[in-house]
Structure formats: C-alpha cells, structure tokens
Amino acid sequence: MSLFIRRARVLTLASPGSDTAAPLRPRRGPALRELGILPRADVWIQGDKIAAVAPELAVPPGAEVIDAEGRVLMPGFVDCHTHACGPATPLDEWERMLAGATPAEIEKSGGGLPAVIHAARAATRKQLAAGLRLRLDAMLRGGTTTVEVKSGLGLASEAERKLLGAIQRAASEWPGTVVPTAALGHAVEGDVAAFTRLIVREVLPEVWHEFPGVAVDARCAPDAWPVEACVRLLDRARKHGLPIRVSADQLASTGMVPEALALHARSVDHLENASKADLLALAASDTFAVFTPAASFHAGQRYARAGAFADSGGLLALASDHGPAACPIHAMPFVVALAVRHCGLTVAEALVSATVNAAALLGLADRGTIEPGRRADLLLLRHLDERQLAHEVGDNPVVRVICAGRTVFPS
C-alpha cells in the first residue's frame, strides 16, 4: 500500500536536527512550541510508515494521491487519559446536577458512582467492549488515533479483569491504538483501610499476572483513595516493573504530588487545585503533568494552570478525560481549544502536548511526528492555518484520518 499526500501545510512536529532512528523525546520549555512547519510539502507513505517528507517529491508509481490543496496535515491526536470503557451516566442524573443536586444527594437516591459501578459489574465483557468500540469510533472521527483507556469501575478482581479484557477486545477490532490502564485505585467501597488493603494484596497481583506490563493508576481524592493507600498501591506496582500514574488535586490539594515524585510516577493528572509549590516541583521533574480541561468545562470547575506549568519548563500532556460516567467530551480539537482559552497554553504548546508528549508519556516512540520511519497516523484538517483548530469551535475540523498508512475516515 502506497499513499501520496501532496501540497499540504505539514506540521511535522520534528525537532531541528532530530534523528528518527532515535527514540521519540518529549518536549519542554521552548521546544514545546516547535511545530516544524513545512508551508507546502508532500508526504509519501509506504505500508504503515512515513517514507519521505519534502517540499516536492515525485509521485511513486501506483500510489494513491491525495491533494491537500494547502490544508493542514498533522500527526494524529494521542489521548492519554480516558475512562471510555463503562456504562453511561443516566441523563436524568445529569439534569439533576444541572438543577443543583450534589453528588452525595444523587448517591443517596441510588445513583452516582455506586450505580455506575453496579452497572459495570452487571455488564458482560462483550457489552462493555461494544460500548467502548462506539466511543472509540467517535474519537477516531475527531482525529484521535491513539487512546489510553482505564478500568477502575470493577472494584474487585473479576470485574477489573473483565473491564481490561473488554478494553483488549475493543482494541483488537479498532484501526487505531488502545493502551489499557488498570485504574485499581479509582474508588473505594466500604471500609477504606480494609478495601485498599484487599486491592493491593489480592487484586493487583491477579491483574498483573493476567495483563503483564499494564500501567497501574490511582485517584487521590477525599472521595477516593487517601495518599497513604495510593503510595502503597503504586509502590508495589512499581516494584514489579509496572508503569504507575496518579490523578490528584482535582477538587482540592491532597499532598499527593510530592509522593508521586518520590515514586517516579509516569504522570500526575488533573491538578486543577494543585499548589504553586507542587506545580513547580513537578515542573522540575521528569514526571508528566496531564491536564484535562474538558473535565473542568463539563463540571463547571476550575481550570488547571497549564500555561504557567509550561513556562516553568514542565513536561506537559493534554487529554480528554472522556468517559460515559466522567466526561462526555471526546473531541481533542475541543480540548485544544479549551486549553488555549482557559489554561494559558499557546496553540503550538497545546498541539505538541496532545501529540508528541502524550505519545512519549504512553511509551510509544513510533508516532507523534511526521518524519520518515514514524508510524503513519495522520490528520488532514479543513483548515489552511493550524491556529483555526483552536479558534473555531463547534464543528469537526478533521476531513481525513489515516491510521497506519490507511484512510479510516471517511471510510
């Protein structure tokens, strides 16, 4: 298979003098604003890889030719934090929240997270996979070609393994790439101390034996896992060679950031209410901060200070936090627009954070830039200028999605 895209405004996102034989490196500081723009160029794809990128290339014999007509060609979005596998939140609960009902009031009447967990346990692996596949397809149409998907709604060994199995099943049927995460520290049930001990001592070992190498995630919050329990879970996972991640400071500062840094966590996510001191310490480390402005938009809550974090030289990634029970927003172009409007990022910083850096966070060194040898996950926008991606809101700016060298949208 050979694909030739001509006359595109190419955002290579390549660093000056970069060597594609070397592993993909995340960007920070001034490099976070380097888009590597070729104002008019051709891109040749052979198989699932990019073969050549240059201002003018000869069309290879037998290649399918796509005339970009000056429109923007960029790497596919990498959404590195989602909860896309699980049952949907009933819309009547959402209406009650809009009318002012608190999560505690909704849970007291039989709804909220406990109801979502019950529905996840009751669903079959096939049903969970089918629902996830529908969401993955919607994400693909918006330009997301790689996505991380968390479990976390099972709260028991069998249910968590069922969720991770559903994620694997949906991934095998989807043209993009799915990276599963075992969010074993997502919520608690019953006595906090007893429950968290059960997860650490019994559920975690069963999960890593069935899903070797899977990343382990915890959510540190007053209604979730306390700091000490998060540390025990993540430390044990780390000692067995598993990548570890944690969500913290979404509603209030928890004190989890210093602990995450001591554990060398891959990322700390959310951070809407992180202290300035914690953000500065995080920025000085090799741990990523993952910001999720769509979650703030949906919940009407505070936005994280991503721009200040970027100015401090931190490793930064953007994600949707998409999930039927968490955040119904899956479109990464909208996430970029929110990050530019409300989090203080430039358009370039947002685009690098949603591609190169998010891929590096997930340990995927073969994508995120348009360079020879990289995986051919590309988007063709209807825009002639990439800044329009953040400026215009309300319509899908993606006119073509290419996954592993094959056009998957429009199909």
Secondary structure class of 52 (helix, strand, coil): strand
Give the pLDDT confidence score for residue 24 in this predicted structure.
78
Report residue 260 as tokens. 């995450």
Here the CATH number for the domain that contains residue 396 is: 2.30.40.10
Give the pLDDT confidence score for residue 21 in this predicted structure.
61
Give the pLDDT confidence score for residue 130 in this predicted structure.
97
How crowded is residue 179: how many other Cβ atoms within 10 Å of its Cβ?
A: 23
Cα–Cα distances (Å) from 251 to 254, 296, 297, 393, in that order, read 9, 10, 14, 27
H or E, element range at 350: helix 347-353
- For residue 23, pLDDT beyond 80: no
Q: Which residues of 62-81 are buried (b: 16+ CB within 10 A; e: fewer)?
A: ebeebebeebbbbbbbbbbb
Examine the domain organization and report whether 218 and 354 are in the same domain.
Answer: yes
Measured between alpha carbons, how far is 66 from 397 in angstroms, rounded to an integer? 17
**Mean local confidence (pLDDT), 16-26:** 72
Strand 267-270 relative to strand 288-291: parallel, antiparallel, unpaired?
Answer: parallel
When pLDDT is cut at 50, 70 and 90, the band that residue 18 belongs to is: low
Secondary structure class of 30 (helix, strand, coil): helix
Give the pLDDT confidence score for residue 20 in this predicted structure.
62
Examine the domain organization and report whether 255 and 311 are in the same domain.
Answer: yes
Examine the domain organization and report whether 199 and 315 are in the same domain.
Answer: yes
Q: Which amino acid is at 310?
A: A
Give the pLDDT confidence score for residue 19 in this predicted structure.
64
Examine the domain organization and report whether 250 and 348 are in the same domain.
Answer: yes
Examine the domain organization and report whether 386 and 249 are in the same domain.
Answer: no
Q: How far is CA 354 from the centre of its chain?
A: 8
Model pTM?
Answer: 0.97
Query: Taking a C-beta distance cutoff of 8 angstroms, is the pair 204, 175 a contact?
Result: no
Examine the domain organization and report whether 129 and 265 are in the same domain.
Answer: yes
- DSSP assignment letter at 159: H
Query: Taking a C-beta distance cutoff of 8 angstroms, is the pair 83, 326 a contact?
Result: yes
Report residue 21 as tokens. 């034989």
pLDDT in tens, 168-225: 999 999 999 999 999 999 999 999 999 999 999 999 999 999 999 999 999 999 989 9
Examine the domain organization and report whether 193 and 308 are in the same domain.
Answer: yes
Domain containing 393 equals: 2-75+369-409
When pLDDT is cut at 50, 70 and 90, the band that residue 315 belongs to is: very high
Domain count, the chain: 2
pLDDT in tens, 234-292: 999 999 999 999 999 999 999 999 999 999 999 999 999 999 999 999 999 999 999 99
Here the CATH number for the domain that contains residue 330 is: 3.20.20.140
Measured between alpha carbons, how far is 323 from 375 in angstroms, rounded to an integer? 27
Residue whose C-alpha is closest to residue 245's, from 154, 315, 322, 183:
183
Examine the domain organization and report whether 265 and 171 are in the same domain.
Answer: yes
Examine the domain organization and report whether 236 and 92 are in the same domain.
Answer: yes
Alpha helices, H only, 142-255 = 157-172, 192-198, 204-210, 227-239
When pLDDT is cut at 50, 70 and 90, the band that residue 88 belongs to is: confident
Secondary structure class of 51 (helix, strand, coil): strand
Nearest 5°: the CA angle 292, 403, 346 is 35
